[in-house]
Chains A and B, each alone.
Chain A
Amino acid sequence: EAGVTQFPSHSVIEKGQTVTLRCDPISGHDNLYWYRRVMGKEIKFLLHFVKESKQDESGMPNNRFLAERTGGTYSTLKVQPAELEDSGVYFCASSQEWGYRDGYTFGSGTRLTVV
């Protein structure tokens, strides 16, 4: 089966611009997660979708970040306007119902650099 796909793999944008990251989860996985790793620190939770609904967005840094999941399939994470501190690697993951026990399948990540 195809894994979790993220694109772009890399993005370099200027401060103040807008960037949209996309994630295609494994087919049939209702749960979709976004995580972020900033500057070699720990990977941190951003939010969790169950199908098209936001189950938990407690990790979203601020209102410059907007996540959507159209029709419960792919998801996008938009940063508008981007700031320097938004640089990092953004990971998407998906799982079936028992992801907290069985583990998630992660994508390769999008490396975002804001200059």
Chain B
Amino acid sequence: AQSVTQLGSHVSVSEGALVLLRCNYSSSVPPYLFWYVQYPNQGLQLLLKYTSAATLVKGINGFEAEFKKSETSFHLTKPSAHMSDAAEYFCAVSEGNQFYFGTGTSLTVIP
């Protein structure tokens, strides 16, 4: 079974600062990787996905993630945080018919 590790259950950044949320996965084959976001009182929304077409993936709301096979990582970044980015972010990998999620990172944006 796959495992996904998200370092840092809580991350705080200042408005306008770089956002970096870390994700490492365990997989011996090229994976399908995803980032989901959950805004307060809402469902999980797909932010972006890696499907082996390109190592740098651009998603919605200015987020992007880079797949690094040598590091088994898929970190999520955004150059400049906005107040509206405050949410919980989940990294996930799919295997077969299942998604394996990390424990989530709650992002706080400080004005």
Contacts and interface: CB of A to CB of B under 8 A. Distances in A.
Contact of B49 (A59, A93, A102): A102
Interface stretch (A12-20, A40-48, A70-78, A79-87): A40-48
Interface in A34-57: 35, 40-45, 48, 55-56
Contacts of B103: 40-42
Interface string B73-104: 00000000000000000101011111111111
A16 B68 CA distance: 48
17 contacts: A3-B43, A31-B97, A33-B97, A42-B100, A42-B102, A43-B92, A45-B98, A45-B100, A55-B97, A56-B96, A99-B97, A100-B32, A100-B96, A103-B46, A106-B45, A108-B43, A109-B43
Interface of A: 3-4, 31, 33, 35, 40-45, 48, 55-56, 59, 91, 93, 99-109
